[in-house]
Chain A
Amino acid sequence: MTEHENTALRWIPLLPLIAAALSGAWLVFGRRALPRVAVIALACGAPIASFAIAVVQVFKLALETALPPDAPYYSDNLYTWISAGDFHAELAFLLDPLSAVMVLVVTGVGSLIHIYSVGYMDDDHREDRGFQRFFAYLNLFTFSMLMLILGDNLLVMFVGWEGVGVCSYLLIGFWYLDDANAAAGQKAFVVNRIGDFGFLLGIFLLFWSFAQAGLPTVEFREMSANVGLLAERTVALPGWLSFLPGFPTWGLLTLACLCLFVGACGKSAQIPLYVWLPDAMAGPTPVSALIHAATMVTAGVYMVCRMSFAYSLAPGAQATVAWTGALTAFFAATIGLAQTDIKKVLAYSTVSQLGYMFLAAGVAAYSAAIFHVMTHAFFKALLFLGAGSVILGMHHQQDITKMGGLRRRMPVTWATFLVGVIAIAGVPPFSGFFSKDEILLAANQAHAIPGHQALWAIGMATAFLTAFYMFRLYFLVWSGESRADHHTQASIHESGKWVLVPLCVLALFSVIGGFFGLPDAYGDLFGVQRSNSLHHFLQPVVHSAEHEISHATEFRLAALTTCVGLAGIALATVMYFWRRDLAAKLAAAIRPLYALVRDKYRIDELYDAAIVRPLRALSSSLLSRGVDQGLIDGLAVNGTAKLVRASADGALKYLQSGFAQSYLVAMLLGGVLLVAWLVRGS
């Protein structure tokens, strides 16, 4: 197996870890903060170095002929972490096509965002340690994400999974002195944990099943090769679950995949665990860009694709994934229509686009899902960073109703933002078009999933809405007359180079990124064979479903998608560029509905009333007062003390009477009893 070994892999996650540890340790033990230059060097140097190493290794992977074509991977085993009987779990990394794509996206986009953050957080001069703390957390996050992606078994992935959750909490609540930020961080963490519970159940179930079949392992390659052992196994459902479809038995893999999907819902903000993502906008904008757009939230998609070998054998789980994704996409898009905070619009847009990715994964178009992860990382990070630039320029104003006419004042940001908006709307030949179209095509052709035509229709409707609300955002922010007050207007300025350079790089990739996955049909037009390089690169690992479809049908569907997108743009232009009064009139006409949508359907309030409050009440009245104070404190701790005291003070002390003769009587009595006992029976 030596041609698969590659000890350079470990440095990809290790470098950010070292950077984080160094700056973190200096914060804890050092008296003053490090000089800015050192912080910047550590903070940006580590992810860039990781990116460089990753690029080299991925190229080796792609071009290396020594690797067998059906098993193209590199692995790097650090040490055996757990060894219990037959079960071994190593701390090992796996670089195969799937993790290669993700690694490049994470380190590449991540590096750009680190660079951007230098410019963005620069005005955080309140406490210089804040600057250092931010980059320590950011590097820690990058390390965790890379562990997640590069892990070669479920346990290492879970370590990274939890790590990104923790870093998300730390970074959302970065300006922790404001209670609302801390609460947002806590909400993110708690909702994530709910998902993690499902994830753990899935891991346990898979491990237990494989162990019963004689192969105790959680390593991806081993599980993938041996998944046939579990293909026919079923679990019997208890009687009270008779309302579930497929009762009385479920496939074992279906159950496991559903449990894992719960985890993905939590991490990637799908229904019903999406509620933390909009609140997470309380964190600094680079955090929103990195974690809640480009990387952490895609961990769920990555996990499903990584476990594609199991999902392909669990049609029930696949249908659940696809439908959840589609419904989330539509649902979040509707909420995005009525939001007035620039970051909230982008947050709901992220939830919606993540829905697309799960829709793709559900219809077994795994490479399409990863393709969308990649393009989404480009344009969503671009949009968020651009929004951050706007926020900086408007002196921390985030309400789009108070913006407008910024085009002339912030030209570079405007141009890159426009590129991002066009990309997300799915206008060819920008990257968003190709990835979204591939997903919709797969949904249209996924005859195995019940109601797949409906899925396709929902996807199309969402594409319309996406184009509409994104251009609404664009027009409200950039065109027309400025609606800000005079003081702010006077000081609107373009951001510095640290901010603009990453924006330009991301804009470039938003334009050309689509060509990594140019569908074969288009490539044929230009005489290029197998132009969908991404799909063919990933196929040995994820085994996406392949569709037999004529080029004509493909082009027809693509044209339909484009028209839908353009229609959305057109409507937004009408309502927010030509006849601005239309929007207000429409909102007034459907006021109750509009209010409901703007208040995000009051889902948060529903959760609060139905779950949070009862739980809190139960906790404080029953558990805190009853069990903890009453039972444990009162009975066990204080009660024991009182018992000892009572028995000693009330009874035992009288034994020590001071009278020698009483003692003698006792001794005699004891002696007699002892002797009697010893001679009994003889």
Chain B
Amino acid sequence: MGDVLPFHFQVVAALIFAIGALGVMLRRNMIVMFMSIELMLNAANLSLVAFSREIGNDQGQILAFIVMVVAAVEVAVGLAIIISLVRNRDTVNIEDTSQMKW
């Protein structure tokens, strides 16, 4: 693959993961936070597939597939929750949902 080394893919994955983490921590819109979580999942998938190719078997790809399935379910359920929340409180700001505290 020319002079693209395996670790380059890892770097990309790490970057996307970090960006996703920043998004989760810093954005206050619940939908955007959720999308950032999806970014993190994708980054993990990329890392898995890259390692799988580096090792030479398909186990990482299988795992990535399963992760995708789980991510799909998670998105469905998570968005359903967000819908309920937004309907009840009329706000999509996560800081308005901090009642479970001391």
A interface vs B, CB < 8 Å?
A: 653-654, 656-661, 664-665, 668
Is B100 close to A, CB under 8 A?
Answer: yes
- B21: chain A residues at CB < 8 Å are 668
Query: Of all chain A residues, which has the CB nearest B97?
Result: A660
Chain A to chain B contacts (Cβ below 8 Å), 5 pairs: A654-B102, A657-B101, A659-B94, A659-B95, A668-B21
Q: Are B98 and A664 in contact (CB under 8 A)?
A: no
Q: How far is the CA of A164 from the CA of B25 in the complex (A)?
A: 79
- B94: chain A residues at CB < 8 Å are 659-661
Nearest CB on A from B30, distance (A) = 9
Q: How far is the CA of A665 from the CA of B23 in the complex (A)?
A: 11
A668 interface neighbour in B25, B95, B99, Cβ under 8 Å: B25
- A658: chain B residues at CB < 8 Å are 97-101
Query: Of all chain A residues, which has the CB nearest B30?
Result: A660
- B95: chain A residues at CB < 8 Å are 659, 661
Is B24 close to A, CB under 8 A?
Answer: yes
Q: Are A661 and B24 in contact (CB under 8 A)?
A: yes
- B98: chain A residues at CB < 8 Å are 657-660
Q: Are B99 and A665 in contact (CB under 8 A)?
A: no
Query: Of all chain A residues, which has the CB nearest B26?
Result: A661
- B24: chain A residues at CB < 8 Å are 661, 664
Q: Are A664 and B25 in contact (CB under 8 A)?
A: yes
Q: How far is the CA of A654 from the CA of B102 in the complex (A)?
A: 7
Q: How far is the CA of A661 from the CA of B99 in the complex (A)?
A: 14
For the complex of A and B, 3 pairs with smallest distance between CB atoms: A658-B101, A658-B98, A653-B102
A661 interface neighbour in B25, B100, B102, Cβ under 8 Å: B25
Q: How far is the CA of A267 from the CA of B26 in the complex (A)?
A: 85
Query: Of all chain B residues, which has the CB nearest A653?
Result: B102
Q: How far is the CA of A659 from the CA of B96 in the complex (A)?
A: 9
Nearest CB on A from B16, distance (A) = 15
Nearest CB on A from B31, distance (A) = 14
Binary interface encoding of chain B residues 64-102 relative to chain A, with 1 for a CB under 8 A from any of its CBs, else 0: 000000000000000000000000000000110111111
Nearest CB on B from A662, distance (A) = 9
Interface size range of chain B in the complex: 10 to 19
Known: A656-B101, A661-B26. 13 other contacts (CB 8 A): A653-B102, A657-B98, A657-B101, A658-B98, A658-B100, A658-B101, A659-B95, A659-B101, A660-B94, A661-B28, A661-B94, A665-B25, A668-B21
Q: How far is the CA of A668 from the CA of B24 in the complex (A)?
A: 10
Query: Of all chain B residues, which has the CB nearest A661?
Result: B25
- A653: chain B residues at CB < 8 Å are 102
Contacts A664-B25, A665-B25, A668-B25 given; does A656 touch B102 at CB 8 Å: yes
Of listed A654, A657, A659, A661, residue having the most chain B CB within 10 A: A661
Nearest CB on A from B86, distance (A) = 15
Query: Of all chain B residues, which has the CB nearest A657?
Result: B101
- A659: chain B residues at CB < 8 Å are 94-95, 98, 101
- B25: chain A residues at CB < 8 Å are 661, 664-665, 668
Nearest CB on A from B78, distance (A) = 13
Query: Of all chain B residues, which has the CB nearest A655?
Result: B102
- A664: chain B residues at CB < 8 Å are 24-25
Of listed A660, A664, A668, residue having the most chain B CB within 10 A: A660
Query: Of all chain A residues, which has the CB nearest B100?
Result: A658
Query: Of all chain A residues, which has the CB nearest B22?
Result: A668
Q: How far is the CA of A657 from the CA of B94 in the complex (A)?
A: 13
- B100: chain A residues at CB < 8 Å are 656, 658
Nearest CB on B from A245, distance (A) = 75
Residues 35 to 91 of chain B near chain A (Cβ within 8 Å): none
- A657: chain B residues at CB < 8 Å are 98, 101-102
Nearest CB on A from B81, distance (A) = 12
- B101: chain A residues at CB < 8 Å are 656-659
Q: How far is the CA of A661 from the CA of B95 in the complex (A)?
A: 9
- A654: chain B residues at CB < 8 Å are 102
Q: How far is the CA of A124 from the CA of B37 in the complex (A)?
A: 91
Nearest CB on A from B28, distance (A) = 8
Q: How far is the CA of A161 from the CA of B6 in the complex (A)?
A: 88
Of listed B94, B95, B101, residue having the most chain A CB within 10 A: B101
Nearest CB on B from A647, distance (A) = 13
Nearest CB on B from A666, distance (A) = 11
Query: Of all chain A residues, which has the CB nearest B27?
Result: A661
Nearest CB on A from B40, distance (A) = 10
- B26: chain A residues at CB < 8 Å are 661
Binary interface encoding of chain B residues 1-39 relative to chain A, with 1 for a CB under 8 A from any of its CBs, else 0: 000000000000000000001001110100000000000
Q: How far is the CA of A656 from the CA of B94 in the complex (A)?
A: 15
Q: How far is the CA of A665 from the CA of B33 in the complex (A)?
A: 13
Q: How far is the CA of A580 from the CA of B2 in the complex (A)?
A: 139
Nearest CB on A from B27, distance (A) = 9
Q: How far is the CA of A658 from the CA of B98 in the complex (A)?
A: 4
Q: How far is the CA of A477 from the CA of B25 in the complex (A)?
A: 105
Q: How far is the CA of A661 from the CA of B32 in the complex (A)?
A: 13
Q: How far is the CA of A665 from the CA of B102 in the complex (A)?
A: 19
Q: How far is the CA of A668 from the CA of B22 in the complex (A)?
A: 10
Nearest CB on A from B84, distance (A) = 16
- B28: chain A residues at CB < 8 Å are 661
Q: How far is the CA of A659 from the CA of B102 in the complex (A)?
A: 11
